[in-house]
């Protein structure tokens, strides 16, 4: 919120060079923190100590145990990950849709307030950031948030897309900020639900899921940026944003249909205890609270 709110004064006083200098300084602070803190990301699995204590137990079990383990891995891969892959794909389409309002907003700002486009964008993004912050505050106080999964993520994506389309409908500034705050609230909710759902995956799947997620998001955002820029040459901003976010809403509806076909979506605590991926006793994730933060303001 402070970053978005300070953008217009920084640009007004020092121009875009000062804004990029502040941005570069923030990356230096992050790099320094990583070098000083050196956070560990390779926590040992809970089952390692037992395997060390009983080195011959697995060998004595013979091929039947190995077949049972292989069947268990196939069962896990054939169950929950199918919906997780759907979430990752939806996240990629969502990133493609998000690129449209990121590209269209400067165009709208210059056409709406040519004397101060930075102020217009600051108002928009401060409202969006406020909604995101409120989402974090609301979700962390809900005890049943751990049960939210794929269905809540898909519904939140639909609501977020709708809010962004409304924000580009030529509203007055107060209504625009309400729409942007609503989009930010839905964005924050989907971000928390999505990241928490990936973190709840077993250790052997989690790193690959986050890798695929980053690839899908970056590819979707890059492709969408090019496509949205080209579309804005011939179409108004509202039409471009509506078309791109309609694609995200349709993808979310497809995921909802898949969830309805498969039955009740798996909750965040669906990972079995023997997978050792989540400590449900204290309700905290030992791998951190947010590992998939987006690099740009997105929907």
Give the tens place of pLDDT for each residue, 100-147.
Answer: 999 999 999 999 888 888 889 889 999 999 999 999 888 887 766 545
- What's the confidence (pLDDT) of residue 63? 56
- What's the confidence (pLDDT) of residue 78? 43
Which CATH superfamily groups domain 81-299? MFS general substrate transporter like domains (1.20.1250.20)
What mean pLDDT do residues 154-158 have?
A: 94
Rg of the chain, C-alpha, whole Å: 22
Segment 19-77, tens digit of pLDDT: 999 999 999 999 999 899 887 765 555 544 444 444 444 444 455 555 555 554 454 44
Segment 162-199, tens digit of pLDDT: 999 999 998 999 999 999 999 999 999 999 999 988 88
SS3 284: strand
Segment 202-231, tens digit of pLDDT: 877 788 888 889 999 999 999 999 999 999
Q: Is the pLDDT of residue 259 over 60?
A: yes
C-alpha pair distances (Å), 235 with each of 12, 63, 101, 104, 146: 30, 64, 13, 11, 42
**Which two structure tokens, joined as six digits, stand for 266?**
């798996």
The domain segmentation of the chain, as residue ranges, is 81-299
Which sign does the torsion angle of CA 31, 190, 1, 17 carry? positive
Flag whether the pTM goes above 0.75. no
Q: Is the pLDDT of residue 274 over 60?
A: no
CA angle 184, 186, 187 (to 5 degrees): 60
Taking the C-alpha atoms of residue 295 and residue 160, their distance in angstroms, rounded to an integer, is: 18
């Amino acid at each position: 919120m402070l970053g978005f709110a300070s953008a217009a004064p920084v640009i007004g006083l020092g121009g875009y060079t000062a804004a990029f200098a502040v941005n570069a300084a923030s990356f230096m602070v992050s790099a320094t923190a990583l070098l000083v803190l050196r956070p560990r990301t390779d926590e040992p699995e809970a089952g390692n100590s037992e395997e060390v204590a009983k080195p011959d137990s697995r060998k004595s079990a013979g091929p039947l145990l190995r077949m049972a383990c292989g069947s268990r891995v196939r069962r896990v891969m054939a169950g929950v990950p199918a919906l997780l892959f759907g979430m990752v794909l939806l996240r990629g389409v969502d990133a493609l849709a998000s690129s449209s309002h990121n590209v269209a907003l400067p165009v709208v700002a210059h056409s709406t307030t040519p004397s101060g486009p930075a102020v217009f964008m600051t108002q928009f993004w401060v409202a969006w950031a406020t909604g995101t912050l409120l989402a974090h505050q609301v979700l962390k106080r809900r005890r049943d948030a751990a049960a939210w999964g794929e269905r809540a993520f898909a519904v939140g994506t639909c609501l977020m897309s709708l809010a962004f389309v409304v924000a580009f409908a030529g509203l007055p500034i107060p209504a625009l900020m309400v729409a942007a705050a609503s989009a930010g609230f839905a964005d924050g909710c989907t971000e928390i639900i999505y990241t928490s759902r990936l973190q709840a995956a077993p250790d052997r799947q989690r790193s690959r899921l986050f890798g695929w997620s980053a690839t899908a998001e970056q590819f979707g955002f890059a492709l969408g940026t090019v496509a949205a820029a080209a579309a804005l040459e011939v179409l108004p901003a509202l039409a471009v944003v509506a078309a791109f976010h309609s694609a995200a809403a349709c993808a979310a509806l497809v995921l909802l249909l898949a969830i309805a076909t498969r039955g009740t979506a798996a909750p965040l605590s669906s990972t079995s205890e023997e997978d050792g991926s989540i400590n449900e006793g204290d309700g905290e994730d030992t791998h951190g609270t947010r590992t998939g933060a987006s690099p740009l303001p997105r929907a």
